[in-house]
Amino acid sequence: MKQILMGNEAIALGLIHAGVDMVSGYPGTPSSEILGNFQKFRDKNKLEAYAQWATNEKVGFEVAYAGAISGKRTCATMKQVGLNVASDPLMSASYIGLKGAMLLISCDDPGFYSSQTEQDSRSFAKFARIPVLDPSTPQEAYDMVKLGVELSHEFESIVMLRPVMRVSHAREICEVDDGLHVKANEGDFERNIPRWGAVPPAGRFRQGLEQIDRLEAIKAWNWDHLIKPKTHALKGENVLCLTSGTGDGYVREALSELDIHADVLKLDMPYPLPKEKLEALFVNYDKVIVFEESFPCIEEQLSSPKLYGKLTKHVHVIDEFSKDKVLSAFANAGVIAPSHAYKSEKYDLELPKRPPNMCPGCPHRDVHYAITKVFKKKKSIYTSDIGCYTLGLNQAAIDTILCMGASISMASGFSISDPDKTVIATIGDSTFMHSGVAPLINAVYQNHKFILVILDNSTTAMTGRQTTPERTNPHQIDIKRIVEGCGVSCHEYVYEQDLNKTVDFMKSLQEMYKTATAPVVAVVREFCVLDKENATGRLGNVVVEVDEDKCVACDSCITNYKCPPMHYNDAGKMEIDPFLCAGCGSCLDVICPTDAFVKKEEK
Amino acid sequence: MKYQIVIAGIGGQGAVFLVKVLSIASAIKNQKCLGTENHGMSQRGGSVSCYVKIGDFYAPAIDEGQADLLIALEGNEALRNIQYLSKEKGVIVMNAPKNFPKVDFETHSIDAFKKAKANEFPIDALNVYMLGVTLALDPHFPFTCKEIEEAIRLMNAKVADKNIVVLHQGIDDAKDNK
């Protein structure tokens, strides 16, 4: 059956068709739609399957792994930086292996579209010594999910699927299975203490040896089933291109469009590679060029003087692929003369910049604004975290972003290293649950003095509004009570559009800070503007316009408040774009020194 | 056939909706289709660009100097993306005011914001409106009005009638604008 699917939809459908009935993960672009789509397919077809967001990737991994060792077919989903969080259980699970099947999906982001780092999860697979499959299109992602689950079952090893953003968010007409042959499989954990509970060193040493044997068997399988069948199509050109994932598409298009002659061998499983067998192929070629995103994972496993790639500096080492980069690599390796076939001209005059920005009407903007208004920049350090509120960077309301949860631990560090400044940490509810609680416990028991503002919009908004623990749970997991359980009081502010009130709340925190001997913690309750069920009544009521006589073009609104509808018109005065304005009216007070924003009408 | 389209706009304008409609239209035509969209950081108001490649392609992204058509839901986003257009055959269809800077490509523009401000069509349907403008003005556009209408129906039958009215408004306005 043919269906038009986005990569992450294809992956979700593949999981269902592979008989996976237990999925756990944490959202992160570009991986976020996999679990959500799995839930959708499950509900539509009334399947019995567990699919839930975990508090973080480590937890998600461990839930799925437990399912696998009791014999179920499971999956954990995350993005590449999420895999860092889950790396601890991964390393051990790779030694121990499993009984059912477990697919670990880690989505990469070459080109840094929505990530702090450009990592290559294939390198992590290599580090952890588990096989990895690298799809190049949604169709392949679908097929490889099914293959990966089967391989995991056969070799009792976790198998990684590593789609990049251009696969996860690509859309293609895919050929998928017709029927739904899914039945909930019962887990049945069999006690086996030497295996599942092995204590170093004796037990683990044996498992380490088994892991090596398993890898050798998978290498042989990789050759027999994935690589060798493709070698028959090699035409005996002078140059061999070894490709992986999306690198393959760019190479094939460039070769056919520019009539360059080279053989292409796509490595569907870039780790573990049958090194000797692959290198034996090189005899027939003058040059072998490796095209892979993002790190030299394939290249590092092979050695030959004929090999050209990132390590030899013939292929670019950062940013996503393009056909132009394929051409440069061919030219750098001396296969073709330098070519400008894909060069083009940019528009060279300056265009208005559109950095990612918080949505019009977003309450986080007011919180950041109030923080910078009350805690002056020279006397403060603003630590922040990963989520929509990261975009407070635009308001110069954030000094540091490291990784999830680090706003609180870094606030601890700054309170020790630079005690004359007031440190104000901001973190969202999802991130707080993900990895903010442990650093808060640390800060309380060591009496670190800073201000922590938890921005609770009760959803993971940045990645598409996935549910968070406090949202769906009947047991009322409550941030305020978590904070209180950590031993400090939690000051609550229920957000209002009147910016004066948000500023006053920050002033009250400032007062408390003066006499505090531990972290001053606050939670701002609000709902995401995209959450139409809960954010009702807050938006769309007020139409604001600018009194041009009062506007002196001082920049303070677009520098400090930075709401997307605000821009200068031809007359050099501020103007509000009616198509972008959410009608929240928050800009009316406080932010304009000449009071140029005026209410036009109530809708 | 081979035809590559870049859709540019800002978050909230519905660029991704157009990718879906064009993918469905390709399926109706029995053509291969590979596209890609930007998610995540592109919040409302930020730049968004999507690619649709119809025909025999292997890589989802469009390279610079390659696209046949650039549909821009906002004028500056057209300028920001013109490097993707082919020098020989690239066509721009964009929503921009009359006094917009000229570029060295076959350009068709319409001031859709002005029309929306005058309540001639609902701003939420700007994407479909511009698709109508494209149908009317790009002679190489690989889909017929009928195919696009069918795709819009398959995409979301509930709001299809309203969307198809706006589609035809775009077609008519573009013809009048010539």
Q: Using CA of residue A405, residue A410, residue A413, residue A419, what is the dihedral sign? A: negative
Interface test with A, best of B63, B74, B85 (most A CBs within 10 A): B63
* Tokens describing residue A526: 């609000």
B140: CB partners within 8 A, 6+ apart: B3, B68, B69, B89, B91
Provide, as residue numbers in chain B, all residues whose Cβ is less than 8 Å from the Cβ of A388: 43
Interface test with A, best of B4, B43, B111 (most A CBs within 10 A): B43
pTM of this prediction? Answer: 0.92
Q: Return d(Cα A135, Cα A149) in angstroms, integer.
A: 14
- Residues A91-101 have a mean pLDDT of 95
Q: Return d(Cα B66, Cα B6) in angstroms, integer.
A: 10
- Three state DSSP letters for B90-135: CEEEEECCCCCCCCCCEEEEECHHHHHHCCCCCHHHHHHHHHHHHH
B2 beta partners: B55
Provide, as residue numbers in chain A, all residues whose Cβ is less than 8 Å from the Cβ of B60: 137, 166-167, 170, 172, 246, 249
Q: Tell me how far the alpha carbon of residue A192 is from its chain's centroid.
A: 36
The radius of gyration of chain A from alpha carbons, rounded to an integer in Å, stands at 27
pLDDT for residue A238: 97
Q: Return d(Cα B133, Cα B115) in angstroms, integer.
A: 13
- Residues B51-56 have a mean pLDDT of 96
Residue of B nearest to A387 (CA): B41
pLDDT reading at A331 higher than 90: yes
pLDDT for residue A166: 95
Interface test with B, best of A171, A460, A562 (most B CBs within 10 A): A171
pLDDT reading at A471 higher than 90: no
Test A579 with B20 for CB contact under 8 angstroms.
no
Q: Return d(Cα A132, Cα A78) in angstroms, integer.
A: 15
Helix/strand/coil for B55: strand
Residue corresponding to tokens 């609180």: A408
Interface test with B, best of A169, A326, A581 (most B CBs within 10 A): A169
Q: Return d(Cα A485, Cα A480) in angstroms, integer.
A: 9
Test A29 with B39 for CB contact under 8 angstroms.
yes
What is chain A's mean pLDDT, rounded?
94
Closest-CA residue to B119 (of B72, B75, B166) = B166
Test B64 with A322 for CB contact under 8 angstroms.
yes
- Residues A574-593 have a mean pLDDT of 92
Test B44 with A322 for CB contact under 8 angstroms.
no
For residues A503 and A373, the answer to whether their CB atoms sit within 8 Å is yes
A157-193: pLDDT as tens digits: 999 999 999 999 999 999 999 877 677 788 999 999 8
Closest-CA residue to A392 (of B166, B103, B43) = B43
Provide, as residue numbers in chain A, all residues whose Cβ is less than 8 Å from the Cβ of B113: 579
Test B33 with A171 for CB contact under 8 angstroms.
yes
Provide, as residue numbers in chain B, all residues whose Cβ is less than 8 Å from the Cβ of A349: 79, 101
Residue of B nearest to A323 (CA): B63
For residues B111 and B97, the answer to whether their CB atoms sit within 8 Å is yes
A100-113: pLDDT as tens digits: 999 999 999 999 88
Helix spans in chain B (H): 15-28, 75-81, 112-117, 126-137, 145-155, 157-177
Q: Return d(Cα A243, Cα A142) in angstroms, integer.
A: 19
Residue of A nearest to B65 (CA): A344
What is chain B's mean pLDDT, rounded?
93
- Least Cα separation, residue A388 to chain B (angstroms): 8
C-alpha dihedral, A137 to A143 to A147 to A149, nearest 10°:
90
- Least Cα separation, residue A477 to chain B (angstroms): 27
- Which candidate from B12, B19, B57 shows the least CB-CB separation from A253? B57
Confidence tier at B12 by pLDDT (50, 70, 90): confident
- Residues A576-586 have a mean pLDDT of 91
pLDDT for residue A199: 78
A228-267: pLDDT as tens digits: 999 999 999 999 999 999 999 999 999 999 999 999 999 9
pLDDT for residue A332: 97
- Which candidate from A170, A171, A347 shows the least CB-CB separation from B80? A347
Provide, as residue numbers in chain A, all residues whose Cβ is less than 8 Å from the Cβ of B40: 29-30, 113-114, 462-463
* Tokens describing residue A108: 């990469």
- Which candidate from A166, A252, A347 shows the least CB-CB separation from B60? A166
pLDDT for residue A601: 67
Provide, as residue numbers in chain B, all residues whose Cβ is less than 8 Å from the Cβ of A323: 59, 63, 66
Residue of B nearest to A461 (CA): B40
DSSP state of B67: B
pLDDT reading at B39 higher than 70: no
Confidence tier at A297 by pLDDT (50, 70, 90): very high
- Residues A409-434 have a mean pLDDT of 96
- Residues A397-414 have a mean pLDDT of 96
Phi, psi of A286 (to 5 degrees): -80, -40
C-alpha dihedral, A413 to A414 to A415 to A418, nearest 10°:
130
pLDDT for residue A539: 85
Test A29 with B40 for CB contact under 8 angstroms.
yes
- Residues B149-171 have a mean pLDDT of 96
For residues B75 and B13, the answer to whether their CB atoms sit within 8 Å is no
Provide, as residue numbers in chain B, all residues whose Cβ is less than 8 Å from the Cβ of A29: 39-41
By CB atoms closer than 10 A (0-12, 13-18, 19+), residue A359 is buried
A106-139: pLDDT as tens digits: 999 999 888 889 999 999 999 999 999 999 999 9
Provide, as residue numbers in chain A, all residues whose Cβ is less than 8 Å from the Cβ of B57: 249, 253
Kindly provide the b/e burial profile for residues A110-143, where b requires at least 16 CB atoms within 10 angstroms of the residue's own CB. Answer: bbebbbeebbbbbbbbbebbbbbbbbbbbbbbbb
pLDDT for residue A204: 85
Test A250 with B64 for CB contact under 8 angstroms.
no
Is the link from the previous residue into A194 a cis peptide, with omega within 30 of 0? no
Q: Return d(Cα A538, Cα A367) in angstroms, integer.
A: 16
Q: Return d(Cα A543, Cα A546) in angstroms, integer.
A: 10
pLDDT for residue A600: 84
Test A324 with B39 for CB contact under 8 angstroms.
no
Helix/strand/coil for A79: strand
Phi, psi of A453 (to 5 degrees): -110, 115
A502-541: pLDDT as tens digits: 999 999 999 999 999 999 999 999 999 999 888 888 888 8
pLDDT for residue A589: 87
Q: Which residue has the higher pLDDT, B99 or A356?
A: B99
